[in-house]
Homo-oligomer: A and B are copies of this chain.
């Protein structure tokens, strides 16, 4: 069995994803983790801390992967496609974490929120530079500002949370491929 903090994070992730941060009582989290409230406050300063922890971890993983993919060698269209697929696949593979990330952004207290926004913006910008790179060399149409394109695409990703079921017909890879295809298609000159 995992350590107490790990069990707490797992329980909180599950519950936040299912019901949303504000609908989950600390008591529920510790019950599901099989510990007491005292234990939770021993490891985490607050309920908000738990959210912060969950919130950050997926984003950090995705940022790392995006940077690798973006820095790769292939043509820009391939790299953007790969990046698009990747963000969907990793989101679906960690769907509970992703749901928390998608929905609970502004539940963080002020200081942590600022930090998170920074990380999120950096991710967005790295992705945007891929689009801009393709627009600059004529691979992609420049009609739509790259910023908008990225917002549009990540809207699709975040929205997975409201219709996709990991055990439904479509695999993560299939959805990833379709969405990446749509993105690339929308950028054809």
Interface positions of A (Cβ within 8 A of B): 20, 22-23, 103, 105-107, 141, 143-145, 148-149, 151-160, 162-163, 175, 178-179, 181-183, 185-188
Collect the chain B residues with CB atoms within 8 Å of residue A175's CB. 148
Q: How far is the CB of A131 from chain B (nearest CB, A)?
A: 12
Of B23, B141, B156, B185, the contact of A22 (CB 8 Å cutoff): B23
User: Could you tell me the distance between the alpha carbons of A91 and B2 in the complex, rounded to whole angstroms?
Assistant: 46
Interface pair A148/B20, CB less than 8 Å apart: no
Main secondary structure of the interface of A (DSSP, over half): helix
Q: How many copies does the complex hold?
A: 4
User: Could you tell me the distance between the alpha carbons of A22 and B103 in the complex, rounded to whole angstroms?
Assistant: 13
Q: Which residue of B lies closest to A145 (CB)?
A: B178
Of B107, B157, B186, B187, the contact of A183 (CB 8 Å cutoff): B186
Q: Which residue of B lies closest to A153 (CB)?
A: B156
User: Could you tell me the distance between the alpha carbons of A160 and B141 in the complex, rounded to whole angstroms?
Assistant: 22
Indicate whether A143 sits within 8 Å of B181 (C-beta atoms), given known contacts A152-B156, A157-B155, A163-B151.
yes
Q: How far is the CB of A21 from chain B (nearest CB, A)?
A: 8
Interface pair A182/B149, CB less than 8 Å apart: yes
Indicate whether A152 sits within 8 Å of B179 (C-beta atoms), given known contacts A158-B159, A162-B105, A188-B188.
yes
Q: How far is the CB of A167 from chain B (nearest CB, A)?
A: 17
Interface pair B154/A159, CB less than 8 Å apart: yes
List of 8 A-B pairs having minimum Cβ-Cβ separation, nearest first:
A155-B159, A186-B186, A155-B156, A22-B22, A155-B155, A152-B156, A185-B186, A182-B186
